[in-house]
């Protein structure tokens, strides 16, 4: 099967999100129609405040749209109960947050292990090995016992990436995963993403401000004022 006939693994239809702040109404996402195929690697670019993170939260089922739908495969996640949506996210989606959201009292390894526990991993030996392997992929094998405050921002970001990869989710949503990394480290993360994408057909949706990083994806979506204004690349 070529990429062209692959079914959409993610689809948004007329997606809108507004925040009502009393007198002010912020229209963060204003009518986004987007289809992403299984195994596609898509980057999202756009100025600060244009709605990139909001779009990713909507797609990941972290927040509910004001209007419109998000489909993961054939499932409209906006029609699921909170617990069904949480289960779907746990089983199918990995998320790298712009602000990492690491647990400050847990080591790098502990943060990854916690994600495994939430997913119901029982075998401690297997989990420990898996967590160390993930930390190795992001270049943190020698720092797995450090807590977030004992790591640089870029290293914390890499812990957040390792955590998102627990269970090898078929969809990875990453909010500026290389935002705090220098060129060498950014490229290292991109190679991890590219190998997940190529070897495991993982579908990746990644926000970035870096045009060189963005250009490594199959497709780049440009946003402005809550809308898609341009799409570059294949399909
Ligand atoms: N919880 C919220 N309540 C009110 N307004 C919000 C909320 N979250 C986001 N916004 C607003 O929605 C708009 C889009 O925010 P969003 O975080 O999606 O932007 P972004 O493109 O990710 O920006 P950046 O590149 O700075 O991360 C902004 O105007 C922001 O202030
Ligand atoms: Mg953002």
What residues pair up with 93 in beta bridges, in sequence order? Answer: 171
β-strands 219-224, 203-207 pairing: unpaired
**Mutation to probe ligand 1, out of 51, 209, 222 (largest number of atoms < 8 A from CB):** 51
For residues 138-161, average pLDDT: 93
Count of the separate structural domains present in the chain: 1
Measure the CA–CA gap between 147 and 143, rounded to whole angstroms: 9
In DSSP notation, 61-115 reads TSS--SEEEEEETTEEGGGS-HHHHHHHHHHHEEEE-TT----TTS-HHHHHHHH
pLDDT band at 79 (very low <50, low <70, confident <90, very high): very high
Q: What is the pLDDT of residues 26-70, one digit of tens each?
A: 999 999 999 999 999 999 999 999 999 999 999 999 999 999 999
> Can you give the CATH number for the domain in which 133 is found?
3.40.50.300
Q: Which residue has the higher pLDDT, 234 or 15?
A: 15
**Mutation to probe ligand 1, out of 18, 27, 54, 176 (largest number of atoms < 8 A from CB):** 54
Answer whether 208 contacts ligand 1 (Cβ < 6 A).
no
Q: What is the pLDDT of residues 98-126, one digit of tens each?
A: 887 899 999 999 999 999 999 888 888 99
Q: What is the pLDDT of residues 178-212, one digit of tens each?
A: 988 888 888 888 998 999 999 889 999 999 999 99
Q: Phi and psi of 33, rounded to 5°? A: -115, 120
Tell me: pLDDT of 4 over 80. Answer: no
The predicted structure's pLDDT at residue 2: 55
17 Cα nearest atom in ligand 1: 12
Answer whether 48 contacts ligand 1 (Cβ < 6 A).
yes
* Residue 2 to residues 75, 195, 217, Cα–Cα distance (Å): 23, 19, 17
* Lookup: tokens for 172: 């990875």
C-beta separation of 32 from 50 below 8 A: no
Measure the CA–CA gap between 78 and 34, rounded to whole angstroms: 16
Residues 6+ apart with CB under 8 A from 231: 219, 220, 221, 222
Structural domain that includes position 89: 3-233
């Amino acid at each position: 099967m070529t990429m062209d006939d692959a079914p959409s693994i993610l689809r948004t239809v007329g997606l809108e999100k507004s925040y009502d702040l009393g007198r002010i109404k912020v229209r963060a996402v204003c009518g986004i129609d987007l289809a992403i195929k299984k195994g596609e690697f898509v980057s999202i670019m756009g100025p600060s405040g244009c709605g990139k993170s909001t779009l990713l939260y909507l797609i990941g089922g972290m927040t509910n749209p004001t209007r419109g739908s998000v489909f993961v495969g054939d499932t409209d996640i906006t029609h699921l109960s909170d617990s069904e949506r949480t289960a779907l996210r746990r089983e199918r989606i990995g998320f790298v947050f712009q602000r990492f959201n690491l647990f400050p009292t847990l080591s790098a390894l502990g943060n990854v292990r916690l994600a495994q526990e939430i997913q119901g991993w029982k075998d401690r030996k297997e989990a420990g090995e898996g967590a160390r392997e993930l930390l190795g992929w992001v270049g943190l094998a020698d720092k797995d016992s450090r807590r977030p405050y004992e790591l640089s921002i870029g290293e914390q970001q890499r812990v957040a990436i390792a955590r998102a990869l627990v269970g090898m989710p078929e969809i990875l949503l990453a909010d500026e995963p290389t935002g705090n990394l220098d060129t060498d480290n950014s490229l290292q993360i991109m190679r991890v993403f590219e190998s997940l994408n190529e070897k495991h057909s993982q579908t990746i949706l990644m926000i970035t401000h870096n045009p060189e990083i963005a250009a490594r994806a199959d497709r780049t979506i440009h946003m402005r004022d809550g809308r898609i204004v341009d799409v570059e690349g294949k399909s």
